[in-house]
Structure 1
Amino acid sequence: MKLTMLLDMAADGFADRVLIGSSPDGITAARLAEMADAGAWTIRDSGADAVVYLAVNGPAFPVALFAAARAGVPLVPVNYRLGAEQLRALLANHPRAVGIADGAHAQMLREAGMTVLTPEEWLADTNVAGRGPVPPVDIDAPAVVIYTSGTTAAPKGVLLRHENLTAYVFGSVEFASADAEDAALISVPPYHVAAVANTITSVYSGRRAVILEQFTPEQWLQAARRERITNALVVPTMLSRIIESDADKDVPTLRAVAYGGAPMPATVIERALGLWPRVEFVNAYGLTETSSTIAVLGPDDHRAALVGEDPEVRRRLGSVGRVVPGIDLEVRDADNVAVRPGVVGGIWVRGEQVSAEYAGIGRLVDDRGFFDTRDQGHLDSAGYLFIGGRVDDMIIRGAENIAPAEIEDVLLRHPSVVDAVVVGVPDEEWGQRIEAAIVVWPGVEVAVEELRNHVRATLRGSKTPDRIVVWSELPRTETGKIVRRHVLDHLLAPDEYETPSKC
């Protein structure tokens, strides 16, 4: 099934309902279908084999997504924060694409030989009367190509096919399940899989999507009140900044907040639950390769963990919940043997929404169809999944493998700490030594030795950081992922850098 089927169902089922933008002057389901057809004709006429989207999120993005699907070519949303060299390397993979960009990025696409429209020109072009529906094409092209963030290596193009994305939609929401007044505030950039997932689930469910082009806590809160937002999607750093903000945090219509993309500090989610006690919080764990969410910690789990006396139940606030229907998950040891609950190992997943496919490489699955997520973790006795960090982030101190996430989790349990990262720094004696950078809550001071004792009291001495530094913020991507290579650079040569900032 194609993504266009989702749009056609929406246009038939609730044609006049606004799906994109402000009500009542946003884009209705029927109009979105017409704009997708008009955009598909533009793509077809150009002879393009892809649509490269190199701009901030906005109404042009969902139109481009469905127009590309209508034309039978993939949408390629590219990280506009990449450096010129990385961008040119990615753009070289799509020489025959139509490009949507503005400013210096538009010029870069033109230099790559593309036909380029600004987001405003794209919307204007697709908003005129077109030639009607585009004849269907039977082309085995992926629906979307998303390049991985490249926080530890060069970005790889992940191919998400129509069947992967539609399987995710059918397993996540019911058709036309949203109420007429429901509105979702989307704050993630277009090159993140969550932007694609939220667009298609909102269209299928009939929920109006309001896209925040640039995030600040004040803009988020103002938009949430102005647009009467009922549902929102944030990454942990966004939620932390909203909570820290001095702005008015009252959002009367807000009913549900989903978060994910990076570990959530317990102190942050606890404060959020206290700030909005009637809001239902959901932690969603997934990867680009899995078409977004594969495990969910639901609202009831949050409440039980917050008020429960059972230590195991309280610990589940640090989990990502249980796997969603349609996903098979195994935790395996180094010999690829499934381990029992409580034992840490590599996380492998299987299901229709799992793409596991890379441009120029193919599908990377084992003989049973399981994909190695490269994440480590463990399941508890009730099937709750705890993430222990990336295999690639492992610190090797002497002969011991140490997962940074284990130490980060302990640091984040300290009431003064709001953010933390642990990395291995080269050391002649041990191979690597453990160093940490932390961020504390505004107005709070904490002694570094107190933090080291806090870790030592929970973990053995060999896992206690040799050095802890306090920074104003950690280097993260827009989607909340730590850029560990930047952390290591700052720790190795602190005098050469300003205070770390967001990437």
Structure 2
Amino acid sequence: MRLSMLLDMAADGFGERIVVGRRATGFDAANLRDRAVAGAAVVDAVQADAIVYLGPNGPAFPVAMFAASYAGVPLVPLNYRLGAEQLEALIAKHPNALGIGDDRGVALLTESGLSAHTMDEWLELTAEDGAAEPEPVDDDGPAVVIYTSGTTSEPKGVLLRHSNLVSYVLGSVEYMNAAPDDAALVSVPPYHIAAVANVISNLYAGRRTITLEQFTPDQWLQTVREEGVTNALVVPTMLARIIEAVHGGVDGAVPSLTSLAYGGAPMPGAVIEKALAVWPEVGFVNAYGLTETSSTVAVLGPDDHRAALASDDPAVRARLASVGQVLPSVDVQVRDDDGRPVPAGVVGHICVRGDQVSAEYAGIGRAVDADGYFDTRDQGYLDADGYLFVGGRIDDTIIRGAENIAPAEIEEVLMRHPDVLDVAVVGVPDEEWGQRIEAAVVLRTGHAVDADALRAFVRDGLRSSKTPDHFWFWNEIPRTVTGKLVRRNVVQKIAEQADHSVPTA
């Protein structure tokens, strides 16, 4: 089953329902299908073997995704925020593609020798009637190629086949379960797996999808109210900014909102607790997944959020820091460094298996073991009731004096300090300890605190061996647009500053 079959089901089942865009200007399911068929004809006309999408999210994106499916080629959404040199290297991997992008994107695409259209031109082209019905494509080729963010290494092209993405949808969404007026607001860029997953899952559910190209708390809140948004997806940094704005006096009313999902990066406990208090009627959902798993593999649902917040039982309360329970269609094992499963409560490698798990890289192949398990390189544990706790990347672990220390644990404590807005904890080479712990901190506007006070704060919450040796006070922490911490950039900046200054000890 291909992605185009999901659109066929939508067009046949609720063809007149608006599924993409604003109420007044959006496309209904039948029109989206017509546009995708027309787009496939454009692809065929230039004999392209892929569609490279290089621009912000918007209605052109789902048209491109389904056009690629009908044409039997993959969609390749690239990070339009990258520098020209990086983008040129990625575009060079797809020399026979059709390009779609914003003005800068089209310039880069055409300079690389591709036939390209602006997003507006693409929508004009696909609005034309008369495209022939495409020949059915039966193979399970790549539907989407997403390049990893490269937070710990160079970007790799993750191949998500039609079967992976369709398995995700069928395993997590009920067909046409959305009310006719339901609307989802998506605030992530098209090169993120969550953007792809939201297009296909909301379409299958019959829910209209709206994108917010430029996020600000005011614009997000205004869009929720104006468009009657019922479901929304944000990354943790966005939610933190929204709640901060509401506490600062911005109108936080969201009367239509029933569900707010978050993911893409760890959620600080202090932020989600404030959000639950600000919107007591909203159902919060923590979704954990990776590009390689076609999005979500575990979910902490609304009832679990509220139960954890209200409970006096430490074990139940702790679940607010978990990513919930694994989807029925996915198998999860936590393993030690030698690949052996570990008991509940023991930290190890999170490994996953299921039809939605691609774990396939361009030019490399599938990174699974003999039993089909993919090592996510995330460390974590399952509790006795099957709740999954994620402690960060295995590669991020700080080894100080032979003790393994998870930076996320220290970051969680520091984020609870009233003067701290953002933080990153990393390991820095040290002759005596192997690695020492250093923290980069961003303070809230108008607030002040010194390193000794922060060190004492950490020591009160954790043992002394996990207390940062040095603190750096910065204006900004390097993160991706989805809020994912780029630790290698933190380490590099610390090294550069250490050469010219002395950290606040």
Specify the TM-score bucket, using the shorter chain as the normaliser. over 0.9
Using the TM superposition, name which of 329-338 and 213-222 deviates more. 213-222
Once structures 1 and 2 are overlaid, which stretch shifts more, 478-487 or 257-266? Answer: 478-487
Matches of 1:227 and 1:274 in 2, distance apart?
A: 24
> Alignment partner of 1:468: what SS?
strand
What pairs up with 1:16-415 in 2 under 5 angstroms? 16-245=16-245, 246-415=249-418
Q: Deviations over 1:223-247 (max 9, x none)?
A: 1111111110000000011111243
1: CA distance between counterparts of 2:305 and 2:103? Answer: 44
Separation (CA, whole Å) in 2 of partners of 1:459 and 1:214? 38
- CA distance in 2 between counterparts of 1:233 and 1:165 reads 19
- Judging changes above 3 Å, is the alpha-carbon distance between structure 1 residues 234 and 8 closer, same or farther for their aligned structure 2 residues? same
TM-score (norm 2): 0.96
Task: Provide the rounded CA distance (Å) in 2 between the counterparts of 1:458 and 1:247.
Answer: 33
Closer/same/farther in 2, CA of residues 369 and 419 from structure 1, 3 Å limit: same
* 241-250 or 291-300: bigger deviation: 241-250
- How much does 1:408 deviate? 1.6
Given the two structures, how large is their TM-score scaled by the length of structure 1?
A: 0.96
**Counterpart of 2:2 in structure 1: which amino acid?**
K
Deviations 1:404-453 (A, max 9, x none): 12222222343443432110112232232100123344444334323212
Matched, 1:451 2:462: no
Gaps of 5+ in 2: 501-505
- The structural deviation recorded for 1:474 is 1.6
For residues 445 and 306 of structure 1, do their structure 2 counterparts lie closer, same or farther at Cα, with a shift above 3 Å needed? farther
Contact 2:146 2:157 in 1 (8 A): yes
Q: Is 1:265–1:419's contact at 8 Å kept on the other side of the alignment? A: no
**Shift in Å, 1:477:** 0.7
Native 8 Å contact 1:102 1:119 kept in 2: yes
> 2:503 matched to which residue of 1?
none
What are the Cα deviations for residues 333-367 of structure 1, in whole angstroms up to 9, with x where unaligned?
01111001111100000001000100000111100
Q: Distance in 1 between matches of 2:465 and 2:451?
A: 17
1:500 matched to which residue of 2? none
Deviates more, 1:81-90 or 1:69-78: 81-90
Query: Which residue identity lines up with residue 221 of structure 1 in the other structure?
Result: L
Higher deviation after alignment, 357-366 or 484-493? 484-493
The farther-off stretch of 427-436 and 382-391 is 427-436
Q: Could you tell me which amino acid in structure 2 is paired with residue 422 of structure 1?
A: V
TM-aligned CA deviation for residue 106 of structure 1: 1.3
SS of structure 2 residue aligned to 1:346: strand
Give the 3 Å change call, closer, same or farther, for CA 6–154 of structure 1 in structure 2.
Answer: same
Determine if contact 2:77/2:190 at 8 Å carries over to the other structure. Answer: yes
- What are the Cα deviations for residues 75-95 of structure 1, in whole angstroms up to 9, with x where unaligned? 000001112221111111100
Structure 1 CA distance for aligned equivalents of residues 421 and 236 of structure 2? 10
Answer whether contact 2:350 2:376 (CA < 8 A) is retained.
Answer: yes
> Partners in 1 of 2:304 and 2:392 — Cα distance?
22
Task: Work out whether residues 182 and 207 of structure 1, in 8 Å CA contact, stay in contact via their aligned partners in 2.
Answer: yes
2:56–2:102 Cα contact (<8 Å) kept:
no
Identity of matched residues, %: 64
Is the alpha carbon distance of 1:123 and 1:496 closer, same or farther for their aligned partners in structure 2, counting shifts above 3 Å?
Answer: farther
- Give the drift of 1:402: 1.9
The answer to whether the 8 Å contact 2:285/2:301 transfers is: yes
- 1:429 pairs with 2:424: no
Are 1:10 and 1:29, in contact at CA under 8 Å, matched by a contact in 2?
Answer: yes
SS in 1 for 2:142: coil
Post-superposition CA distance 1:202-255 (Å, at most 9, x none): 110000001111111111111111111111000000001111124321111111
Q: Write the letter of the residue equivalent to 2:378.
A: D
**Alpha carbons 2:411, 2:425 under 8 Å: kept:** yes
- Displacement of 1:261 after TM fit? 0.5
In 2, Cα distance between the equivalents of 1:377 and 1:90? 33
Which piece of structure 1 moves more, 439-448 or 192-201?
Answer: 439-448
Separation of aligned partners in 2, 1:17 and 1:482: 39
Most deviating of 305-314 and 53-62? 305-314
Q: 1:260 to 1:496 in 2, by over 3 A?
A: farther
Structure 2 CA distance for aligned equivalents of residues 405 and 361 of structure 1: 30
Matched residues in 2 for 1:470 and 1:297: separation?
34
Does structure 2 retain, via aligned residues, the 8 Å contact 1:343–1:378? yes
Task: Say if 2:140 and 2:163, in contact at 8 Å, map to a contact too.
Answer: no
**Alignment of 1:478 onto 2:473:** no
CA deviations 1:447-469 (Å, max 9, x no partner) are 43232122223333221100123
**Which letter does structure 2 place at the counterpart of 1:216?**
T
Q: 1:436 and 1:133 mapped to 2: Cα distance?
A: 58
Per the alignment, do residues 172 and 237 of structure 1 end up closer, same or farther by CA in structure 2, a change over 3 Å counting?
same
Contact kept in structure 2, 1:230 and 1:255, CA below 8 Å: yes
Equivalent pair of 2:437/2:467 in contact (CA under 8 Å):
yes
Q: How many angstroms apart in 1 are the aligned matches of 2:22 and 2:84?
A: 34
Q: Distance in 1 between matches of 2:298 and 2:436?
A: 33
Give the SS at the match of 1:301.
helix
How much has 1:495 moved relative to structure 2? 8.5
Quote the offset at 1:403 in angstroms.
1.7
Q: Is the 8 A contact 2:427 2:437 kept in 1?
A: yes
- Secondary structure at the residue paired with 2:106? helix
Letter paired with 1:99: G
Q: State the secondary structure of the residue aligned to 1:143.
A: strand
Q: Are 2:233 and 2:262, in contact at CA under 8 Å, matched by a contact in 1?
A: yes
Alpha-carbon distance in structure 2 between the residues aligned to 1:223 and 1:52: 29
For residue 140 of structure 1, report the CA deviation from its aligned partner: 4.0
Tell me if structure 1 keeps the 8 A contact 2:8–2:33. Answer: yes
Matched residues in 1 for 2:409 and 2:144: separation? 34
Task: In structure 2, give the amino acid aligned to 1:304.
Answer: A
Residue 8 (str. 1) matches residue 8 (str. 2): yes
